Structure 1
Amino acid sequence: MNLEDALYNWLSIKKVVEGRPDDQAAKDTYEFFGEILGEDHHVKNLEVLEEEPFYIVVYTIDEEWLTKKFPMELIDALFDSIQAEPKYN
């Protein structure tokens, strides 16, 4: 999985975990993507900033600070679709 996809998936599931703190499957998935970022891409110091209409992921790789922007609407879509599905509520 490339770095951008891993960041996207990590951020999307992070939003789910924040909105559904008792969802163990979401927590497990969040940890999985965190491991991919750390082990495969050597990402450290992950932070998320909100600057509408974007989430900005700030992180380091080999001591270099980097950022990646994702549209809020795109990231929030996973949480919104889970919340809209009656079998998950």
Structure 2
Amino acid sequence: MSSVQDVIYNWLTIKVVCDARPDDTAAVETKKHFEEMLSEHKISNIDITTDDVMYYVTYNHEDESKKTRFPRELIEIMLNQINSEPDKYVNYPEEK
């Protein structure tokens, strides 16, 4: 079982990718997976703020307000990798 911190970290990392690449179907599907994990861990009411160095996350866990933070460098690593090598991360849209 993943820790609450791990689930929030993974969700936030893929959320940043989705926000930058809303048509990336793999990222959207992965984000949905982590949103399900957030729900399973009873995490709700997530609010994210940033500054030049950190992402600050406030959330409710089992009806208790909590806070955590992550360095931008860690959260944005996946997006930076995609942006630096776009040929490796081609989007394959869903067939309709």
CA RMSD of aligned residues (A): 1.1
- Structure 1 counterpart of 2:29, one-letter code: D
1:70 & 1:87 partners in 2: Cα distance? 26
1:52 & 1:60 partners in 2: Cα distance? 25
Which residues of 2 match residues 29-68 of structure 1 at below 5 A? 29-39=30-40, 41-68=41-68
TM-score, normalised to structure 2, is: 0.85
Which 5+ residue runs of structure 2 have no aligned equivalent?
91-96
Which 5+ residue runs of structure 1 have no aligned equivalent?
none
SS at match of 2:59: strand
Segment drifting more, 7-16 vs 60-69: 60-69
Query: What is aligned with 1:72?
Result: 72
**Which has a greater percent of helix?**
1
- Structure 1 counterpart of 2:59, one-letter code: Y
Identity across aligned pairs (percent)?
Answer: 39
TM-score, normalised to structure 1, is: 0.91
1:49 & 1:71 partners in 2: Cα distance? 12
Question: What stretches of structure 1 move > 4 A for 4+ residues in a row?
Answer: none
Q: Which has the higher contact order (CA 8 A, sep 6+)?
A: 2
SS at match of 1:74: helix
Matched, 1:13 2:28: no
